Copies of this chain bind each other. A is one copy, B any other.
Amino acid sequence: MLTKTPSFSDIKRAHQRISNYIIQTPVMTSKNIDEIAGCHIFFKCENFQKVGAFKMRGASNAIFSIRPEDRVNGFACHSSGNHGQAVALAAKLAGSKAYVVMPKNSSKVKIDAVKGYDAEVVLCEPNDKSRTQTCEDVVKRTGAILIHPFDDYNIIAGQASAAKELIEEIDELDAIISPVGGGGLAAGTALIAHHLDPNMEVYLGEPKEVDDTFQSFKAGKIVPNKSANTIADGLKTTVGEKNFEILKDHVKEVFTVTEKEIIDAMKLIWERMKIVIEPSCAVPFAAILKNKKVFKDKHVGVILTGGNVDLTKLPF
């Protein structure tokens, strides 16, 4: 169990620990997309990851970091979806039970997927307070170990493995960009980029509607979100404390994008690359399209975080 910012060795150990439980996802490129963006983009396709999202990396690392004899009461988490699926599957692979607290407005496809991994779903109100409270109740009732979706060094070390694979495969990256919600992936990406290549520029993309990280960078301290009004349902939460500390040190700039920019970018990737991605991971690509000068002619790594969308409720 990690109790401080993961070192390079910590991330390497996490990657090794989870390697049997995750897919080393492919990196895709598209001439057509590069022409539109004016730079060379290398998409790390975590939409092809188990459970359809990078969250499998962090959850596996957190759960398999626990000794087998301490896994008997299972694991609990709260999640708008992907983290819930990841904890459900990782717990199952570890021979444990999972309890997943989900906001009751979560998409049906996400709730069904969590249940499909034999987890118990506990519905709550769609706000941070109810999520936290309901999850605490579950932990009290069952003795399960709480797996936080992002504000946890084991999660951060696990999520870092996505960018680690990308940077190790594509060795000429000038920059890397990740979306930021709670900051698990963002902090992991920033850390491993720093460890592997201190000169690599690290950027974040964030919906303007939930721009807590952008505002927190300006204020120098965490400024919570006032709304959760974005289509990018993986990015609604406010950045975590451990995450913000890491991001402050290693991120060059946070770019915000509008809802329309997110939807347009998402549609472009579906149309041109023929892959299904969820709105959250269109955010960094939308940020590139909005800031072409920053990325001009550079080699840019983009983490496509997941592909879990309700096909009956597409925004286009």
Per-residue interface assignment for chain A, residues 259 to 295, with 1 indicating a CB less than 8 Å from any chain B CB and 0 otherwise: 0000000010011011111000000000000000000
Per the bound structure, the CA–CA distance linking A47 and B274 in Å amounts to 7
Across the interface, do B316 and A270 meet the contact criterion of CB distance under 8 Å? Answer: no
Chain B residues, Cβ within 8 Å of A52:
274
Per the bound structure, the CA–CA distance linking A271 and B316 in Å amounts to 17
Stretch at the interface among A170-178, A191-199, A306-314: A306-314
Q: How many copies does the complex hold?
A: 2
User: Smallest Cβ distance from A115 to chain B, in angstroms?
Assistant: 15
Chain B residues, Cβ within 8 Å of A244:
none
Per the bound structure, the CA–CA distance linking A225 and B122 in Å amounts to 53
Q: Per DSSP, are chain A's interface residues mostly helix, strand or loop, or mixed?
A: helix
Per-residue interface assignment for chain A, residues 16 to 46, with 1 indicating a CB less than 8 Å from any chain B CB and 0 otherwise: 0000000000100000000000000000000
A109 within 8 A of B: yes
Chain B residues, Cβ within 8 Å of A312:
316
- A-B contacts, 22 of them at CB < 8 A, read A26-B26, A47-B274, A48-B273, A48-B274, A52-B274, A109-B271, A267-B311, A270-B276, A270-B311, A271-B276, A271-B311, A274-B275, A274-B276, A274-B277, A274-B307, A275-B275, A275-B276, A276-B276, A311-B314, A311-B316, A312-B316, A314-B314
Chain B residues, Cβ within 8 Å of A109:
271
Q: Chain B: which residue is nearest A52 at the CB level?
A: B274
User: Smallest Cβ distance from A20 to chain B, in angstroms?
Assistant: 14
User: Smallest Cβ distance from A22 to chain B, in angstroms?
Assistant: 13
Per the bound structure, the CA–CA distance linking A311 and B267 in Å amounts to 8
Q: Chain B: which residue is nearest A48 at the CB level?
A: B274
Per the bound structure, the CA–CA distance linking A182 and B48 in Å amounts to 33
User: Smallest Cβ distance from A52 to chain B, in angstroms?
Assistant: 6
Per the bound structure, the CA–CA distance linking A74 and B307 in Å amounts to 42
User: Smallest Cβ distance from A266 to chain B, in angstroms?
Assistant: 10
User: Smallest Cβ distance from A257 to chain B, in angstroms?
Assistant: 20
Q: Chain B: which residue is nearest A267 at the CB level?
A: B311
Per the bound structure, the CA–CA distance linking A47 and B275 in Å amounts to 9
Chain B residues, Cβ within 8 Å of A277:
274
User: Smallest Cβ distance from A240 to chain B, in angstroms?
Assistant: 27
User: Smallest Cβ distance from A29 to chain B, in angstroms?
Assistant: 11
Chain B residues, Cβ within 8 Å of A271:
109, 276, 311
